[in-house]
Chain A
Amino acid sequence: MVSSRTFSVKRQTGFGTIALLCFVLLYVPIATLVAYSFNAGPSIAIWEGFSWRWYIAAWNNQQIVETSVRSFVIASIAAVVATTAATMAALATTRTRPYRGLNFIYGFINQPLMVPEIVTGIALLIFFAIVKIWTGYTGLGYLIVAHTAFCIPFAYLPIRARLENMDLTLERAAADLYATPWMTFRKVTLPLLWPGIIAGLMLAFVVSLDDVVITELVKSGGQDTLPTYMLGQLRRVVTPEINAISSVFLLISIVIVTLFFFLNRKQT
């Protein structure tokens, strides 16, 4: 048999054990976290029966509601702006003749993926401090701008992938059939690009929603997002309330990632 001669990592000794270990490390803590969010008692380690108590508590916690809303506002605006910018960047890097410095531009756009977050965070902190002195503005704008900036590469990657996989003769066919460049974009490129744009949008949204480091550094007083609030809570009393919020957070992420997966599958 041919297949028995090809290399398969599955048949290496220890493969099963290592794989099992990885799964345990990844999922047991999460499963525990979710399980204890339903704990009836006040402990995150001693099980006292099932209840929705902590979900209700979280729902009634004014601060949680407030920081959640702030997180969603920031993530929504940042994702939309970042995706718009990323779409234009992707068009400019795939729908033009290859030009000198294109690789430099790729690097430039993807910079947030490569520069350590803490460095970007501190840079923004200092920069915004100067701007604050000049303008006196201390609102949510700084956080939104910061999130937009580091979300761009996440939105850019799926959009560019989609554009690169698109058959260029389709756009040529449109031009051949009297469509101006703008009409070609509207009638052919954009409709075919939508799955990529949506995927980019969702990815940017999740990344923004999840951010701690940059947010922690850039936020002014009273501008906690849900993750930074949770982090703050952990330093004080820890109740299954934190499990409950985390579980909801997890659920939202799973829903978005699943949607992302299905949209990507439709592409091929």
Chain B
Amino acid sequence: MGRAGSGERRSAIEAIGVSKVFGNGDDAVRALDNVDVTIRENEFFTLLGPSGCGKTTLLRLIAGFDFPTEGEIRLYGEDIAPLPPFKRPVNTVFQNYALFPHMTVAQNIGFGLEMLGKPKAEIDARISEMLKLVRMEELRNRRTSQISGGQQQRVALARALAPRPKVLLLDEPLSALDFKLRKDMQIELKRLQHETGITFIFVTHDQEEALTMSDRIAVMSKGHILQIGSPRDIYDRPAERFVANFIGDTNFLEGQVKEVHGSKARIALNAGAEVEAGISEGANPQGNVTIVVRPEHAAIQARPGADALKGTIENIVYFGTDTHFHIKLASGPHFIVRQQNRHGAGEEFKTGMPVGVEIGQNAAQVLKD
């Protein structure tokens, strides 16, 4: 899982049975429900989930702006409940930046160091370093109200990085940037994290961003963490329907478990073939199950083999780098196959053609629910 040796790294943040309830009585909202997660030192950890699933709430508990209703949060093994926010070696890049409007860019960046009582020369040097890092040297003395949204986001990042926190919390820090800058900043952030060795806890609802940047991802929904794993784990071996649906395109197929051996199960699909499918840790599939197959893990065949699923092509969508074949299986469900466009490949397929779908080795995964 993750990088080699990552298992030995110390834990930076641990949440143990953390719940957060807002309000009381009938309009109580359970923003977090019994969340357990361990974030390792020097890790790029991402909280991924749809709007309202509790990502910001978890960050706020770690930063100390709010307290868990139940459970405990530990920083390097110690309960941080007694520490007020200004004593936690944790900095935040806020979802709405929260730059101080009455200060210049440089004053914003230097604020944390000033509060820590660092000498002026050191503060100035660090401000210059940070401005260079986020490529904003020429805007040093601007008011924060006089710079663009993307620039504000970069100042917020520089401001949070300047005091060199142990853990940096980033609440959707790239959401306001245009595509190009966003891509640049993704690489930049990754580089920063690598160079500074700071633990990053990164919040996003963009699955692609999560997959490309993270060491590990926690997928959240309605206050729960559904699955934690490396991007590859999450993408190739989703444990639950929500995870599979939220990340990437997915095909769902129904079937019966025939036998279980180790981490694999043999499934007889209702669509007519048998496949080997992976099982998530701790699951014990029985009877009717759903399996997922990523569109690029299946192949389309003009002359279907014996163990292929039969169907007809309903639609062909050409994307330049690859082509999506929308296939209606003979047994009813729809299935999407994504194929990379090698020169001339796939040109023989036409809408309405009968075809076969072959599910590759290790391509299927059994869902828990």
Cβ–Cβ < 8 Å partners of A40 in chain B = none
Give complex CA distance A76, B65 in Å.
40
Cβ–Cβ < 8 Å partners of B64 in chain A = 175
Judged by a CB distance under 8 angstroms, whether A34 is at the interface is no
Cβ–Cβ < 8 Å partners of A192 in chain B = 101-102
Q: Are B115 and A183 within 8 A (Cβ)?
A: yes
With contact pairs A169-B94, A183-B115 given, residues A176 and B85 touching in the complex (Cβ less than 8 Å):
yes
Q: Are A172 and B85 within 8 A (Cβ)?
A: yes
With contact pairs A179-B86, A180-B86, A191-B102 given, residues A174 and B111 touching in the complex (Cβ less than 8 Å):
yes
Q: Mark A174-205, 1 if CB is under 8 A from B, else 0.
A: 11111111011001100110000000000000
Judged by a CB distance under 8 angstroms, whether A254 is at the interface is no
With contact pairs A169-B94, A172-B85, A173-B92 given, residues A178 and B100 touching in the complex (Cβ less than 8 Å):
no
What is the interface residue range for chain B against chain A? 20 to 34
What is the interface residue range for chain A against chain B? 10 to 19
Q: Are A167 and B115 within 8 A (Cβ)?
A: no
Q: Mark B105-116, 1 if CB is under 8 A from A, else 0.
A: 000000110011
Cβ–Cβ < 8 Å partners of A179 in chain B = 86, 111, 115
**Residue in chain B with minimal CB distance to A166:** B101
Q: Are A176 and B96 within 8 A (Cβ)?
A: no
Give complex CA distance A252, B141 in Å.
38
Give complex CA distance A169, B94 in Å.
8
What's the minimum C-beta distance from A39 to chain B, rounded to whole angstroms? 50
Q: Are B102 and A176 within 8 A (Cβ)?
A: no
Give complex CA distance A170, B96 in Å.
10
Q: Are B96 and A169 within 8 A (Cβ)?
A: yes
**Residue in chain B with minimal CB distance to A192:** B102
Judged by a CB distance under 8 angstroms, whether B239 is at the interface is no
Give complex CA distance A247, B360 in Å.
93
Count of inter-chain pairs, beta carbons less than 8 A: 61
Q: Are A178 and B98 within 8 A (Cβ)?
A: no
Cβ–Cβ < 8 Å partners of A170 in chain B = 98, 100-101
With contact pairs A178-B86, A188-B100, A192-B101 given, residues A173 and B94 touching in the complex (Cβ less than 8 Å):
yes
Q: Are B91 and A177 within 8 A (Cβ)?
A: yes
What's the minimum C-beta distance from A72 to chain B, rounded to whole angstroms? 31
Judged by a CB distance under 8 angstroms, whether B84 is at the interface is yes
Q: Are B100 and A176 within 8 A (Cβ)?
A: no
What's the minimum C-beta distance from A168 to chain B, rounded to whole angstroms? 9
Cβ–Cβ < 8 Å partners of B100 in chain A = 170, 173-174, 188
Judged by a CB distance under 8 angstroms, whether B238 is at the interface is no
Judged by a CB distance under 8 angstroms, whether B54 is at the interface is no
Cβ–Cβ < 8 Å partners of A183 in chain B = 115
What's the minimum C-beta distance from B146 to chain A, rounded to whole angstroms? 15
Judged by a CB distance under 8 angstroms, whether B294 is at the interface is no
Give complex CA distance A178, B83 in Å.
12
Judged by a CB distance under 8 angstroms, whether B55 is at the interface is no
Q: Are A177 and B98 within 8 A (Cβ)?
A: no
Give complex CA distance A187, B86 in Å.
14
What's the minimum C-beta distance from B336 to chain A, rounded to whole angstroms? 42
Cβ–Cβ < 8 Å partners of B159 in chain A = 177
Give complex CA distance A177, B84 in Å.
12
Cβ–Cβ < 8 Å partners of B63 in chain A = 172, 176
**Residue in chain B with minimal CB distance to A169:** B98
Judged by a CB distance under 8 angstroms, whether B163 is at the interface is yes
Give complex CA distance A140, B136 in Å.
59
What's the minimum C-beta distance from A188 to chain B, rounded to whole angstroms? 6
Give complex CA distance A191, B102 in Å.
7
**Residue in chain B with minimal CB distance to A180:** B86
What's the minimum C-beta distance from A169 to chain B, rounded to whole angstroms? 4
Give complex CA distance A167, B94 in Å.
12
What's the minimum C-beta distance from A100 to chain B, rounded to whole angstroms? 14
Which residues 224-259 of A sit at the B interface, judged by CB distance below 8 A? none
Cβ–Cβ < 8 Å partners of B91 in chain A = 176-177
Q: Are B96 and A175 within 8 A (Cβ)?
A: no
With contact pairs A167-B96, A169-B94, A169-B96 given, residues A176 and B86 touching in the complex (Cβ less than 8 Å):
yes
**Residue in chain A with minimal CB distance to B85:** A175
Q: Are B102 and A178 within 8 A (Cβ)?
A: no
Cβ–Cβ < 8 Å partners of A175 in chain B = 64-65, 84-86
Give complex CA distance A180, B87 in Å.
9
What's the minimum C-beta distance from B156 to chain A, rounded to whole angstroms? 9
Cβ–Cβ < 8 Å partners of B92 in chain A = 173, 176
B115 contacts which of A169, A172, A177 (Cβ < 8 Å)?
A177
Q: Are B98 and A167 within 8 A (Cβ)?
A: yes
Cβ–Cβ < 8 Å partners of A177 in chain B = 86, 91, 111-112, 115, 159-160, 163
Give complex CA distance A183, B112 in Å.
11
Cβ–Cβ < 8 Å partners of B65 in chain A = 172, 175-176
**Residue in chain B with minimal CB distance to A177:** B112
Q: Mark B75-107, 1 if CB is under 8 A from A, else 0.
A: 000000000111100111010101111100000
Which residues 149-164 of B sit at the A interface, judged by CB distance below 8 A? 159-160, 163
Q: Are B96 and A178 within 8 A (Cβ)?
A: no
Give complex CA distance A254, B100 in Å.
33
**Residue in chain A with minimal CB distance to B65:** A172
Give complex CA distance A253, B100 in Å.
34
The 9 closest A-B pairs by CB, nearest first: A177-B112, A169-B98, A173-B98, A178-B115, A175-B85, A179-B115, A175-B86, A191-B102, A176-B92
- A-B contacts, 21 of them at CB < 8 A, read A167-B96, A169-B98, A173-B94, A174-B111, A175-B64, A175-B65, A175-B84, A175-B85, A175-B86, A176-B65, A176-B85, A176-B160, A177-B91, A177-B115, A177-B163, A178-B86, A178-B116, A179-B86, A179-B115, A180-B86, A187-B111
Given contacts A170-B101, A177-B160, A192-B102, 15 further A-B contacts (CB under 8 A): A169-B96, A170-B100, A172-B94, A173-B92, A175-B84, A176-B65, A176-B91, A177-B111, A177-B115, A177-B163, A178-B87, A178-B112, A178-B115, A178-B163, A179-B86
